[in-house]
Structure 1
Amino acid sequence: MKIAMAQLNYKVGDVTGNLKKILTAYQMCGDDVDIMVCSELALTGYYPQDLLKRDSLIIAQDKALNELAAHTRNRNTAIVIGCARKNLEQTGRPLHNALLLLANGEALFEYHKRLLPTYNVFDEARHFEPGSNSNVFEFKGHTLGFLICEDAWPDAEGYRYENTPVDDISEHRVDCVISINASPSNINKLNERFFIGKQVVEKTQAAFIYLNQVGGNDELVFDGGSFILDKVGTKIHQSVQFDQAVDFIEVDLEQNNTQPNRNKVTEEVTPSYSSNHSHSEFYWRQTVLGIRDYINKCGFSKVVIGSSGGIDSAVTLAICTEALGAEGVTAITMPSKFSSQGSVTDSEVLCKNLDVRLYEAPIKEEYDVAVRAFQTMSGEFPSQLTCENIQARIRGRKLMEYSNHFGALVVSTGNKSEMSVGYATLYGDMNGGINPLGDLYKMDVYALANYVNEFYDKEIIPRSIIDKPPSAELAEDQKDTDSLPDYPLLDAVLKLYIEGDLLERAEYEACQKIISAASLAEKEVERIHQMVNRAEFKRRQAPPIIRVQRRSFGMGRWLPVAANYQF
């Protein structure tokens, strides 16, 4: 059986544009292709959230499905595609998360997703009713089993399912299992998918086809990496990661071998990321794709970034330049009376290396005016914290002014360590429409800076930026360590507190070892935890972040603001 794996980049709600992409892929299929496989909720994009409550979206999707079906009328190639389908029962939620097999001008088979995830970034039970119909179908002389993403995961983040769709397939003698997915990417996720795929193969004794989508939608990034396992669990094909692809694979369902013949929608071939590559390479490719798609899909073509001469803004500038090209990026350096000389000179070298336009806008005079105005209003000189935040907010205002006038999206530069403990200023350095570093701990940012220089094979980010002690430069001789532990130690505490239950054993033990070696008192650990808890109100007002870790702030971590908890 010849399979076309259509790993495409969809835009949420853009049914017309998504249909066009699918039809372009379908036209690439010759008459010898038996099935073209598309991903979960392909026409609506994943995840539509409450757009699913709009009848107009479902009507547009159904019209597109009819058009797709019509294209199969005089073609040998069937289409397997994910979509939203109306629940025809009198009870339950109004929709199913469904899979259709389109052939001969109609839907020959329909399956409804049974396992609806409601953890981490998922909330499918808000909109969909779980299915109960069969997921096995005879087609072209072969018995096929079908799954939709979570259907293949028997145990995920503490959720354990019984009588899974995989169990149902295993009761039949199937030749192949086809799983359509919208599986968000995070560190080590590809290896987890391979592990799950091998479990499916072991249970069903059938070849396994895993089709994922690619691209960024809001905080989520989908990395593609679609693959095929043979009947003994050996990987016999993997599509590229972080790029669109239409791959044609001849699968011998009897002999367990394939004859790959790859064709891509995009011309440039991007090598697959593997577990042998560094985490920094993964972070780079994930954030570049996430930023590019977020900005383009929101209708922007350019961004503006505050350049402090520090590590975070430097890495952010590098990511955005790779994503948009230098012509789409503008930097503004805004030195104050407390800024080091390197704040400006390092920004100049960095932007020259990136070929990015840099403006200089000193804030000393505006800061002095703001301090005097506060004194006039209140009769008191502003506190140290107030003075620091005045500077950050002047800078945030300048960035927003540029954004308003030139139509460039402000990109925030805060990292996960700072966002965790609230080391950021509302309406100041937290301004922005998107944050590429908000799920990267501080030491991840340093590692990524070094990777950027390796990636370009030259010193893009000056060594002086990487080596300087981290500082917000909002007070005389200020250093981050004045109020925070050293970042390797802080990151270890934060990882255990925020993601401890999701870390692999080696990662968990490495964090514990760092904390033990530093002889960090339990009281200090509790202080850091409380800093995280108290900063929740700030994170609620932060821009979206590009997700890379297993548990990210935003839609992946829901905690109350008006609460008092010590755990």
Structure 2
Amino acid sequence: MARSGRIALAQVNTTVGDFAGNAARVRAAAEVAREAGAALAVFPELTVCGYPPRDLLDLPDFLERARQALEELARPAAWSKGIALVVGFPEAPDGAPPPGVYNAAALISDGRVVAVGRKSLLPTYDVFDETRYFLPAGASTTAAAPEGLGVPLGLSVCEDIWNDQRFWERPRYARDPIADLVRAGAGLVVNVSASPYAMGKAPLRERMLSASARDHGAPIAYVNQVGGNDALLFDGGSMLLARDGAVLARAPLFEEAVLVCDLEGGAPLALGLDGRPLPPPPPPPADAQADEVLRALVMGVRDYVRKCGFRQAVVGLSGGIDSALTACIAAEALGAENVLGVAMPSRYSSGHSREDAAELARNLGVRFREIGIEPMHAAFLAALAADGAPPLCDLADQNVQARVRGQILMAISNDTGALVLTTGNKSEIAVGYCTLYGDMAGGLAAIGDVPKTLVYRVARAANARAGRTLVPERTFTKPPSAELKPGQLDQDSLPPYDVLDDILQAYVEERRPLEAIVARGHDEAIVRRVLRMVVQSEYKRRQAAPVLKVSEKAFGEGRRFPIAQGYRY
């Protein structure tokens, strides 16, 4: 039996287009919530179809299947008896003007949809392009209190709660839908969200939601999606806030949960979709940010592999820090038995690189192969010189080696059905220190949004989480090198990584002009050179594998620059 004022925040991991699977998660979470005495269970944005559906919303059949799935969830059933639901879905009402769809939240009670709240504020920044797909709501929706809850609801969707006029120095929109809901009598603001993860975003959300509850004098039930869909990672972190802004309950990050809590306070209960209590969070690690990034990437790799229909992954192991971290992520995400590490030494590979790659594989327990590329490398050079052509230049020879390695990994992928994870970091991808169809070959760039300096920290976090050495200590301490020619070091071609990463942070993520970056203490010539490299490498990034997003500005769909252009530094 429902207890008065008890609700459940159901942060579930949906898959875009998997209507049956998403509905099954709703039913499972609702049953758990009902058994725990909740009168209302709230689910994330577009739960019915998964977020973000993108151009699938242009397909009439997709929208029809979403409508049917919502109708099925609303039919009277034993699993929903005595509990109301708020579920995100794409609403396509007859006669709506183009694009004809609203991003909506349905309140389901007593076997029917009793109210629909539509998203008012449609973001068009970074990875968002919602005016392409949705109509904005002209008004906000309040609904009568579901039985057992005692307070009327204000239905809002994601961005609607991100425009508190008093919290933001420069609000994006003229209207504040939450203020409208409270003026209309909402006793509990319900916000269904699919807010992507980025470093530092979770505490920002909490400050913003706390300020909104306090400023508007109304409690807020915020439910965020969890899981990875393509490049976007969703961290969950759903929470219930009192009218004074205090956090009454908070769901864990990066895992599905049904958070059962009371509007008047009291100890919340975090349950899994199987109804079992979730373990309490562990103590904060020494490097909390690096550990958080690691957890995000593990979740992202696991979901990308699973949702794309793969079960295994293959990683090229160079003995360096980037491939080591990628292998650690893959092993935790998929299980060591489902990961193959492949070392591909050349005539220039050092003995320590081969040793470190093998030791990493042993430490992780992943399968391991070593395939020397010297015969293939030599065959390429001989074939290209067969008609009397001059020897390849130094750069071309280096790229041949990288492309031989890419061919080997893709052959293994084709033969075994395993997904190739590329190992390039954000620093390299930014300045083009990577080879098309070589080390860029693969299906997912697991650490492509992790700068080199952060790679070291996240790899340390992987060792710390395991409680033992996974990445060999020498991998941390030796100078980075592509080992494509004798005595090569990364720093022969690039500024020191601490310098490079600060310049890239300022330019890519903070969008600072050249003069402001120089004012941070950098040499102007180095800054100009780095910025030119970023601009000139756009064609490579356009052909890169999807990059798991962990920063405010990742390479990919959230950063759209032309390839053919004349803007230079």
| TM-score, normalised via structure 1 length | 0.93
1:261 counterpart letter in structure 2: L
2:160 to 147, 151, 170: 151
Distance, in Å, in 2 between the alignment partners of 1:479 and 1:486 is: 11
- Deviation of the 1:58 alpha carbon: 1.5
CA contact (8 A) 1:239 1:272 kept: no
Distance, in Å, in 1 between the alignment partners of 2:428 and 2:389 is: 33
C-alpha distance after superposition, 1:390-424 (max 9, x if no partner):
00000000001101111111110000000000000
Q: How does 1:141-540 map to 2 (within 5 A)?
A: 141-154=150-163, 160-252=172-264, 257-265=265-273, 267=276, 269=279, 271=281, 278-377=288-387, 379-501=389-511, 516=521, 520-540=522-542
Distance, in Å, in 1 between the alignment partners of 2:549 and 2:76 is: 37
Name the residue aligned to 2:72.
67
C-alpha distance after superposition, 1:456-510 (max 9, x if no partner):
11111101111110000000100000010100010000000001159xxxxxx9x
- Deviation of the 1:76 alpha carbon: 2.1
- Deviation of the 1:63 alpha carbon: 1.3
- Deviation of the 1:452 alpha carbon: 1.4
1:548 counterpart letter in structure 2: V
SS at match of 1:71: coil
Distance, in Å, in 1 between the alignment partners of 2:76 and 2:337 is: 41
SS at match of 2:385: helix
Distance, in Å, in 2 between the alignment partners of 1:427 and 1:378 is: 26
Name the residue aligned to 2:15.
11
2:130 to 124, 128, 132: 124
Distance, in Å, in 1 between the alignment partners of 2:154 and 2:99 is: 25
1:552 to 526, 551, 554: 554
Moved more, 265-274 or 308-317: 265-274
- Deviation of the 1:158 alpha carbon: 7.0
1:136 to 121, 124, 142: 142
Does 1:78 find its partner at 2:87?
Answer: no
SS at match of 2:309: coil
CA contact (8 A) 1:492 1:512 kept: no
1:557 counterpart letter in structure 2: R
SS at match of 1:160: coil
- Deviation of the 1:274 alpha carbon: 7.5
SS at match of 2:102: strand
- Deviation of the 1:275 alpha carbon: 11
Distance, in Å, in 2 between the alignment partners of 1:405 and 1:287 is: 26
Distance, in Å, in 1 between the alignment partners of 2:388 and 2:539 is: 26
Name the residue aligned to 1:47.
52
Change (3 A) 1:334 1:276: closer
Moved more, 304-313 or 22-31: 22-31
Structure 1: gaps of 5 or more residues = 503-508
1:18 counterpart letter in structure 2: N
- Deviation of the 1:92 alpha carbon: 3.3
Give aligned pairs, total. 552
CA contact (8 A) 1:3 1:35 kept: yes
C-alpha distance after superposition, 1:57-85 (max 9, x if no partner):
22211111111111369722111011000
**Structure 1 consecutive aligned stretches of length 4 or more whose deviation exceeds 4 Å:** 155-159, 272-277
Distance, in Å, in 1 between the alignment partners of 2:327 and 2:317 is: 8
Change (3 A) 1:90 1:67: closer
Distance, in Å, in 2 between the alignment partners of 1:523 and 1:197 is: 44
Change (3 A) 1:161 1:378: farther
CA contact (8 A) 1:308 1:334 kept: yes
SS at match of 1:16: helix
Change (3 A) 1:398 1:170: same
Name the residue aligned to 1:58.
63
Sequence identity of aligned pairs in percent? 38
Does 1:114 find its partner at 2:116?
Answer: no
Moved more, 68-77 or 372-381: 68-77
C-alpha distance after superposition, 1:237-264 (max 9, x if no partner):
0011111111211213xxxx23423322
Change (3 A) 1:371 1:312: same
CA contact (8 A) 1:166 1:203 kept: no
- Deviation of the 1:167 alpha carbon: 2.5
Change (3 A) 1:345 1:277: closer
C-alpha distance after superposition, 1:296-353 (max 9, x if no partner):
1111111111100001000100010000111100011111111111121111111110
2:161 counterpart letter in structure 1: A
Moved more, 296-305 or 168-177: 168-177
Distance, in Å, in 1 between the alignment partners of 2:446 and 2:349 is: 24
Moved more, 264-273 or 349-358: 264-273
Distance, in Å, in 2 between the alignment partners of 1:71 and 1:549 is: 43
Distance, in Å, in 1 between the alignment partners of 2:33 and 2:246 is: 26
